[in-house]
Chain A
Amino acid sequence: MSTQTTTSGERAALLAMARDLARHELLARSVDLDRGDREAIAECWRSLVGVGLDRALLGERHGGVELSVRDLLAALEELAVGDGGIAMCVLLCNTALATLTDEQLSEIPWGARWALVPATSGTEVTVSDGALDGRIECALGALGAHGLVVILDGPEPAAFAIDAGAAGSRLERDVTQMGLRAAPAALIELADIDCPCPAGRAPALDGSDCSNGMMSAANARALLRAGTAAIANGIARRAHEMALEYAHARQQGGVAIIEHDAVSDMLSAMAVRLACRPEVGAGRFGSDMTADPLGLAIDQKYALAVKIAATDAAVATTTDAVQVFGGTGYMVETGVEKLMRDAKYCQLFPEPNWVAHDELMRSERAGLRSGEPEQ
């Protein structure tokens, strides 16, 4: 991992590339991507690899483009305008790779897609004598990935890297996956998987953790939340764009439907939610560059808060967008109902929002107990 950060010019160029990719490639393939079509996903992945978004956080020696977390989040939002599932693949891959050691990274072939898999310690996955056992349902992006990094929650978060096809692991497609289908989900079964060397560090990132270029499991989870918020923002932007365009074109009772308060009220509510959305790409991530030159120190509480706010807003906006379209919006070919499904999955990943609220309150309570209420 590099200590360099992108300049504003590089950042603008990257965002332009992500925007271009979303508009011209992802949107054009959205039907195939929503079907979870392997070929379409592979082709989009090749394009993302071409611009370095598969290992955006890594340094040059690992073939990365040395983005900060902030820049990655901004790029994710742009990609999600094109397809939330593909943006999720980018997030999962970057987070997974960021938890690996230099040695592990050096063995990963160029262009390989990895996926981070959050799991509940004890109920879903157990660790005993360095061996993993368990069953994880609906692991987004896991199907077809070259490798997985399983991160466990709990008081001492930990991450474990597993090669796809490792002895004792079994992946089965989750055929019921409703949203973010371009990040194909799998049912993962782990039986006595030998993981002598955890990929990430526990419990939290500090200066010493950064020294060998690894991201801790706790920070990986926070990045997952912030990234999901960025993706939700992108999905909501696309829904608003589509609804606005349709409301101008469609007529009811002799006038464009945007002229009806019943419709314009919904469009206005969407615009308000978008204007007030948490700008995760410019938020409190790596803001203290002296203490955290990599920009990887993520404010855990802020990540939870933006994830909850952005995904709730995205569900409301996409649901309203379908309503603006009426019966037309309920039809798959319009592409707007897909946004509603994708947004709903953002609300449920990496944990449902009520669980995220719970975690937020745990840290609030912890702050009160230590006598240092957080800002």
Chain B
Amino acid sequence: MSVTEAQAPAAEPAIRTEHLTKIYSQRLIAVNDMNLQVPRGSVFGLLGPNGAGKTTTLRLLLGLQRPTAGRAEVFGKLCGPNAVAVRSQIGYLPTNPKLPEDLRPIEYLDLLGKLSRLPGEVRKPRIASLLRDVGLLDATDQRIGTFSTGMCTRLGIAASLVGDPPLLIWDEPTAGLDPSARRFTLDLIRELGKTKTIVVATHILGDIDQVCDHLGVMHEGRMIFTGSMQDIQRRIGREDFTLELEGDPENISRLVREAANLEGVEVRAASSVPVRVSSPEVSGLKCEVSSGDGALQTSDVKLPTSKDNGTVLVRVADGRRRARALADILQLVDACGLSLHGVHSGQNATENAYLQLLQEDEAHGFHR
């Protein structure tokens, strides 16, 4: 933790925006009256579809752009083009970072270290350590222009960490990465999240689910939701588990019927979550989604499924032990002659909640 961060009042959020607004050329509203607070020490996911204003928000925080109205603060300091003290607290990783192609990794990181005013005796060992941490030790003699997308992202990550800032702002850090590089990046975020505040802007829900503890959802320049991951998952039906089953549909119906006798457990055969099937066909199903107040609504949808595959949602009542409830359900699955293909715990809740938030925002129209 840096001295500056330590000196700031503990209650002070890492990032605070008040009525932050950015309008380009009096034509395009990129950020619309945004009020946001990112708690210190959190891993904050900034989620939104393409064009929602995520990158603009981050650039406003960095002072790369000037707000049309409102203000943004980082650790209590006002953001702006000459806010050097603010940027010294931030490690920024842009989407697919554009790096100087003629430099080699050590030269580039050394330049950034000097920009952060790090003396040589601190800078050099840190650069070596960072290059090792991001797995670029073997590429130190290559020019950055020869790097792949993944290598550029790794170098960008190292670049964001050169000054050892207390706040990391990473814009779509997993964009264009292969699975192993993606895994590496997410693991790194988890690790860094233990000591730093991290803001990850992305439209990939899987990333948010895996690493974030707080979330902000942006849509058309506005922040339509902020809160903890639990908060957003509570907004939708609280199915605690999703079971992927294979077997006779009759047996699945039987499972649902028999599960109704279990105390504090509700089981529904439904496909409100993506259905993973081996031989997709199209058939009519009842799809259950929850409305904003948590009530379930039912509507006819057509989803791909197979007569031998099904997904059931399991909701565990408050106060009932989840492990015990799952054990009971699994016993029933076995008793009904069904094969279990997978158990997912709340994995799709964020996605459903996110889509629901966007849908609600679209529907609100003028009330926005």
The reply to whether chain A is a binding partner of chain B is: no
Q: Which residues of B contact A (CB under 8 A)?
A: none
Residues of chain A at the chain B interface (Cβ within 8 Å):
none
